[in-house]
Structure 1
Amino acid sequence: MKGGAGYAGGARRVAMATAVVVALLVLGVALDQGLLGRAGSATRGWVSGVRAGAPSSAAPTGAGASPVSPAPSPTTTAPALDVPAAPRIVADHLTFGAPRKAETAAYAARHYGTRTSRLRPTMIVLHYSESDTYSSVRSLFEADLPNRGEEPGTCAHFVVDQDGTIHELVPPTLVCRHTVGLNHVAIGIEFVQSSRGHDPRWATQQVLARRAQAAAGVALVEHLQRRFAISDDKVIGHAMANQANEFRDLEGWRNDHVDWQAPEVGAFRRLLTQAP
């Protein structure tokens, strides 16, 4: 029966065609889901412009997700010294009345061309005392004895004792004779320490190794830096004075002192950087 066989063949063709269409639809859905999945993964790889795989503080969620550890933070080096935020300063002023101020003004006129005992500090000079007691240092400065044949006598604004006590002998707004060529611009700080016949650098290293004294010195210097806007590079040693840009002496005097040389001043400045 030609007619029956033709109908049966047509039915099979329709069934096959229908199966092919269904298969294609299923394949299309699968392909679409796969593409969307890949697109979703790519989108999740960039969040607010952050590249995929970059460290994130948010851990991934979902089945099979592995927690991502945050990148380690840089190691923080603790300050080498426990430096107080504000130093305790003990006022123990030298006799610095009208006679000594007049001597100081005359000295400033001869050496700097400015007849005044007033100081507007822009530098700090570090010294050590060549004595192992605060009392002997103070007695020398109080005596106001001529030095190099000239008055006034030598002095320092501050003395830092070995136990960390900070003594103010002269207000830092008065000129004090401690460094040839820089007395008109610099605050002088003495650290109680004798070289005891050793190399001058040895004496300064003793100061740096004595934690209480070194910490007090750092705290004092930072306090003065804040008060007078003095930068770290303007904190120098007595041995460095002749090379300072601010050095000036109309009489042609030069420093011959070797206390606080550049390597130890560099170590002291690093402590300033580390201080909170």
Structure 2
Amino acid sequence: MKKFILSILIYPISFLALAQEIKIIDKPIIYDSTRIKLSLAYLKERHGIEQSTPTIQPKMIVLHWTAAKTFASTFNAFNPAKLPNGDRKDIAQVSSLNTSSQYMVDRDGTIYRLMPDNYFARHVIGLNYCAIGVENVGSADFPLTEAQLKANIELVRYLRKKYHIEYLIGHYEYTKFKNTPLWKETNPKYQTGKNDPGADFMLKVRNSVKDLNLKGVPTN
């Protein structure tokens, strides 16, 4: 277990070479034994997947917004392994694992990697086990910027080149995967309402990466 925890800051040479294609700043959140234990429990209890390491095989990218105005406030919210007591009662009922994502994009377009791409993060119900999350600092009342749009496009291209990514969706679209083989949530009634990162933002990203032939939500 200790060896796995320490590996979070050790990347193979091929990984570093890929990262040089776009500017990515590593700013890891806490991924300690507590987060590992809770992530493994989430995989088993929520997704029905039992494994020895909290890793994923990425098939999907999910774009979000933070509903906060600063990078620091969201980073500080994600950093603890466990949800703060009394926080997010709507999701705390099924797991005390804190929310997080693999990436966060600041207002100026700076891309931060909060954990390795293939580490498990709790950011999208039913799909965490196969999804890379990209948070963007902003909200409906604090619209995402052109710099963030450009960064998201670059990041999608980078991740598509690195992994066999098939889907690109906005967080607000996640429930469309219910009743598909990709959906893995043991409680059929567990879901929350989302509108991030906005339909206009998603349309702009999709139009800019059409050549990647990424799928959106299921059509039937």
TM-score (norm 1): 0.61
Tell me the SS of whatever aligns to 2:128.
Answer: coil
The letter of the residue matching 1:91 is D
Partner of 1:17: none
The letter of the residue matching 1:174 is Y
Partner of 1:213: 148
The C-alpha deviation readout for 1:186-245, integer Å capped at 9, x for no partner, is 00000000333xxxxxx5xx32xx2222111110111001111214xx110111001124
Partner of 1:55: none
| Pair 1:248 & 2:173 matched | no
Given candidates 95, 98, 121, the residue that maps to 2:58 is: 121
Alignment of 1:140-151 (within 5 A): 140-146=77-83, 147-149=91-93, 150-151=95-96
Cα offset for 1:262?
Answer: 4.5
Q: Residue 107 of structure 1 contacts residue 151 of structure 1 at CA under 8 Å; is this kept in 2?
A: no
| Pair 1:135 & 2:72 matched | yes
Q: Residue 241 of structure 1 contacts residue 247 of structure 1 at CA under 8 Å; is this kept in 2?
A: no
The C-alpha deviation readout for 1:5-43, integer Å capped at 9, x for no partner, is xxxxxxxxxxxxxxxxxxxxxxxxxxxxxxxxxxxxxxx
Cα distance between partner residues in 2 of 1:274 and 1:113 = 34
The C-alpha deviation readout for 1:116-159, integer Å capped at 9, x for no partner, is 31111100001000111100110000023334232210001100
The letter of the residue matching 1:248 is K
Alignment of 1:169-208 (within 5 A): 169-196=114-141, 206-207=143-144
Q: Residue 31 of structure 2 contacts residue 81 of structure 2 at CA under 8 Å; is this kept in 1?
A: no
Q: Higher helix share goes to which structure?
A: 1
Runs of 4+ in 1 over 6 A off after TM superposition: none
Give the % identical residues.
Answer: 26
**Residue-pair matches, total:** 179
Cα offset for 1:92?
Answer: 0.4
Cα distance between partner residues in 1 of 2:162 and 2:128 = 18
Cα offset for 1:274?
Answer: 7.2
Cα distance between partner residues in 2 of 1:235 and 1:227 = 15
Tell me the SS of whatever aligns to 1:128.
Answer: coil
What is the root-mean-square deviation of aligned Cα atoms in Å? 1.9
Partner of 1:73: none
Q: Residue 160 of structure 1 contacts residue 213 of structure 1 at CA under 8 Å; is this kept in 2?
A: yes
Cα distance between partner residues in 2 of 1:173 and 1:125 = 14
Cα distance between partner residues in 2 of 1:261 and 1:192 = 13
Tell me the SS of whatever aligns to 1:219.
Answer: helix
Tell me the SS of whatever aligns to 1:156.
Answer: coil
Cα offset for 1:248?
Answer: 2.0
Partner of 1:35: none
Partner of 2:161: 226
Q: Residue 181 of structure 1 contacts residue 247 of structure 1 at CA under 8 Å; is this kept in 2?
A: yes
TM-score (norm 2): 0.75
Alignment of 1:58-77 (within 5 A): none
Cα distance between partner residues in 2 of 1:86 and 1:269 = 20
The letter of the residue matching 2:62 is V
Q: Residue 170 of structure 2 contacts residue 197 of structure 2 at CA under 8 Å; is this kept in 1?
A: yes
Cα distance between partner residues in 2 of 1:151 and 1:221 = 30
Q: Residue 63 of structure 2 contacts residue 133 of structure 2 at CA under 8 Å; is this kept in 1?
A: yes
The letter of the residue matching 2:36 is K
